[in-house]
Structure 1
């Protein structure tokens, strides 16, 4: 029988804190419970984690329990009750997201918060959560895909050309995009973001420069996409002086790739070591903004945001040129980020994890799904929402549940009904996995005004979707 072998990741996945107790637990289990299966060993460790006092006198497990008890005594206490916060579309937000937001509102650094109508449960701060804190930044309040954003280019090509020359638009979309975890663009491109001084000033970033250079202008997996579609400009008083009407548009959604993920993972680990919190909120560990680690993260986060923007601009430049278009207008916004803003007369750090900036007059794009329209919006600067709006329709079921709930035939039928061509994609991104975007938009009429709509027509996502007919 194979001897038990555990990894720190296994223990962290069941809730063990990032601390020396992990190595103690692994040593104890591999020495004294070496004939346990991994599942049985982890189940036992979970019991010790939940009730360390019950195992304090145990000959072997007591060593783990003692460490847990000592660490619990060092934890920073949460406030007894959550601070008040606004919730938009509460009737279709899952309880898990509400519970996570309630915990976030109990952090001693929290000043204000809000929950957007596309909210659903995530890690630490819910997706769709907006959290304002004092003199601190929460790496997991920003999220793993730092600077994930939307970018919409509106072109001068007559709208009927998208259908007439669909094969050309599809061909260039395939040739001009690369998707997936670890995806690289070859040959490598030059961009001023790669010359950012932070790459030479911060040790972690020095090691990530080559990864960033290799992945520049690529897109990730999951819900990231690049798509051709039709743009309806409905507001005659728009910022670009475009006549109301229909245009061809290119819309993309992706973030900072491996660069952002590595930054998030590293500084979250640092934050959890510096700021020990109860297990329920360990992912919300913060770095003081004026500390060395806090300043490093802030610089790295902003670099990741600039890098994400550069990825979009490279993709758009390549594709717009390939179809012979000229840029009439562009809308761009990111939604996994932290900003220094003034609210209620106080400077705060506002985290928008899956939420769109919607300050007064600020433009943004809120997408629906591969068959539902996206909305071009102008922020109304609503104080209760901390100048924020949803970042999309929001998931109403997990990826695994979506994969079990829909078939390739159903998805293909829906795509045909909406006259959408999908390249790649998967059942986990089926439109039914998302909330109804029209309902979400109705829940935030106080937050944004609609300037126009984007209707997807040729959608490119990571491979794994239904076969083409």
Structure 2
């Protein structure tokens, strides 16, 4: 699949890998971003693109000398981690429910946090810089420490999966928890206040930005990198617990040696070089896919997920999709689907099957198969996974 150029009259073009016509609101959101004066070369839309706040989820925006905090979003550093284990499917016989219950006991989900700060979490080097973060979070260090090693809610999950060769994989999806959310909101608020004070014209108030030479930019960049590091380490802490649970049930507690580990962000910004120039790349619901980069593209609970390797497609800023992408809102999913629908669509998966997760039903998401077809020029598939255990936030 190659991209198509959207028929929009903006300063910079919009290249879309979606493979289907975008709605009027989605087109307007893409136009809003592409019209900003500091956007570099073009805006790239991934196959799972859908409405977000300010910028589309599933968009890649390269900028010169400016950053848009709301384009990164409030779940800074949200991403995926996967581990290929040396175990095979036979080891899982009659153990799925026990594994799920143990996972729910050792990894807090939703708004919950750990009762105590785990040693590994407490030793994270990032705590030394906490006092340098935005003043709006200075009373949250204790909460942030206790949330290190917790899942969160919404579409965050923990899964035991099998690949097509019956190998067991461990996979999880989470971000920077409450501390990342509050940091993002502090800086988004500052950017909006500045735009209002400077009477800066914006096609959407959520596209308020910081200019690179400014103190506000440097403060945001510092906090952004801190929150991204927190998110990555948070996944590491959870995965270590996850591995112990699986080792207990599949290997009598004997430590395993992972065959492959992948830990990647899909809501973040980094400095990169594209088309020979230094730029800031914001991936809002997109994964870096430079040549030989490993990435993770999950489907919804009840469908397939993919471990991929990047092809380094320059036009996509070396990026790919971050999942299936929603095709309906959470509220609409709750209206349209029943508990019977959930039971049917999660058949064969050991997971909660109650009204509390109907908004995460597979039917609320786009087809992961179609999403993958649209990005054959962005990634190659390394492994195709299907979950057998799913813990939702």
TM over 0.5: yes
1:179 CA drift (Å): 1.1
The answer to whether the aligner puts 1:167 opposite 2:93 as a matched pair is no
- What is the distance in 1 between the residues matched to 2:318 and 2:369? 20
1:380 CA drift (Å): 0.7
Q: Is the CA contact (8 Å cut-off) linking 2:97 and 2:350 kept in structure 1?
A: no
- What is the distance in 2 between the residues matched to 1:427 and 1:259? 27
Q: 2:116 aligns with which of 181, 184, 187?
A: 187
- What is the distance in 1 between the residues matched to 2:303 and 2:21? 18
1:97 CA drift (Å): 2.0
Structure 1 residues 42-441: aligned runs within 5 Å: 81-91=10-20, 93-111=22-40, 112-181=42-111, 183-190=112-119, 191=121, 192-193=123-124, 195-202=126-133, 203-232=135-164, 245-276=165-196, 277-278=200-201, 280-324=203-247, 326=256, 327-416=258-347, 419-423=348-352, 426-441=357-372
- What is the distance in 2 between the residues matched to 1:93 and 1:442? 17
Q: Is the CA contact (8 Å cut-off) linking 2:126 and 2:226 kept in structure 1?
A: no
- What is the distance in 2 between the residues matched to 1:110 and 1:332? 28
1:299 CA drift (Å): 1.1
- What is the distance in 1 between the residues matched to 2:126 and 2:300? 35
Deviation per residue, 1:396-430 (Å, 9 max, x gap): 111111111100011112222xx112226511111
Q: Is the CA contact (8 Å cut-off) linking 2:285 and 2:322 kept in structure 1?
A: yes
1:279 CA drift (Å): 6.0
CA separation of 1:420/1:92 partners in 2, compared to 1, >3 Å: closer, same or farther? Answer: farther
Size of the aligned set, in residue pairs, is: 369
Q: Please give the secondary structure, in 1, of the residue aligned with 2:204.
A: helix
More strand by share: 2
- What is the distance in 2 between the residues matched to 1:364 and 1:430? 24
Q: Please give the secondary structure, in 2, of the residue aligned with 1:323.
A: helix
- What is the distance in 2 between the residues matched to 1:167 and 1:90? 39
Deviation per residue, 1:75-130 (Å, 9 max, x gap): xxxx9724112100241543322220111000111113100110101110110011
Deviation per residue, 1:55-74 (Å, 9 max, x gap): xxxxxxxxxxxxxxxxxxxx
Q: Please give the secondary structure, in 1, of the residue aligned with 2:259.
A: strand
Q: Structure 1: state its 5+ residue gaps.
A: 1-78, 233-244, 463-469
More off after superposition, 348-357 vs 192-201: 192-201
Q: Is the CA contact (8 Å cut-off) linking 1:194 and 1:213 kept in structure 2?
A: no
1:136 CA drift (Å): 1.3
Q: Is the CA contact (8 Å cut-off) linking 1:113 and 1:386 kept in structure 2?
A: no
Q: Please give the secondary structure, in 2, of the residue aligned with 1:392.
A: coil
Deviation per residue, 1:295-342 (Å, 9 max, x gap): 111111111111111111111111211222512221111011001111
Q: 1:449 aligns with which of 360, 380, 389?
A: 380
